Chain A
Amino acid sequence: DVKVTQSSRYLVKRTGEKVFLECVQDMDHENMFWYRQDPGLGLRLIYFSYDVKMKEKGDIPEGYSVSREKKERFSLILESASTNQTSMYLCASIHRVFRNEQFFGPGTRLTVL
């Protein structure tokens, strides 16, 4: 059973804290994505990675950075969390060649106080 897992389902942080959201996939996928989901806005791409140590900015990268040191792991970093980063964060992965579907993790609901 293929899996994308995210380190936390719920997270509460304070303004200014450094926040790490971890995502791990066990499908040996090259491509991994971080999305943010907000009501009325759908899913918006923050960053994606097409290989280890490779990354590209998505539509809303401001305030975020990412790390991909191993193929199976893709981390999203909020350097200094702000209240407007309160949101649902979704990780996804897909095979580079057989791009039938993105596999999504269960999401992390982050609240920044």
Chain B
Amino acid sequence: AQKVTQAQTEISVVEKEDVTLDCVYETRDTTYYLFWYKQPPSGELVFLIRRNSFDEQNEISGRYSWNFQKSTSSFNFTITASQVVDSAVYFCALSISGTYKYIFGTGTRLKVLA
């Protein structure tokens, strides 16, 4: 069975701090995709990134970076120099190639304080 664990329920940081959101996944499949989504207070989930299981290269996009490590089954998300606008719930998700199903973690609520 597949599973996604986001152990951090809520994190509070002060603006300009760096913060890492953890995501650990479980699957026996060799081909799969990992995602991060952001859900701001407005409620609509916003896609941030997709990674396939054969691409372990880390990615950086502005203040956002992602660290994918198959050896530890983790796909962690770091926000550098956090801003109040980063306050949201962040979801990690897993999708197995050849299926339509997406398995979401329980989400991490990030509060960035001014």
Q: Which residues of A contact B (CB under 8 A)?
A: 9, 31, 33, 35, 40-45, 48, 50, 56, 58, 88, 90, 92, 99-107, 109
Known A100-B50, A101-B35, A101-B50; contact A41-B45, beta-carbon cutoff 8 A: no
Known A100-B50, A101-B47, A102-B47; contact A43-B91, beta-carbon cutoff 8 A: yes
Number of A-B contacts (CB under 8 A): 50
- Which range contains the number of B residues in contact with the other chain? 20 to 34
Select which of A92, A103, A106 is within 8 A of B43 by beta carbon.
A106
- A75–B95 CA distance with the chains assembled, in angstroms: 23
Residue ID in chain B nearest A103 by CB atoms: B47
Residue ID in chain B nearest A94 by CB atoms: B100
Kindly provide the distance from the CB of A111 to the nearest chain B CB, expressed in whole angstroms.
15
Does B44 make an interface contact (CB < 8 A)? yes
> What 1/0 mask marks residues of chain B from 2 to 16 whose CB sits below 8 Å from any chain A CB?
000010010000000
A33-B102, A100-B50, A106-B43 are known contacts; what are 16 more A-B pairs with Cβ within 8 Å? A9-B43, A40-B9, A42-B6, A42-B104, A43-B93, A43-B104, A45-B102, A48-B101, A88-B43, A92-B45, A101-B35, A102-B45, A104-B37, A104-B45, A104-B46, A107-B43
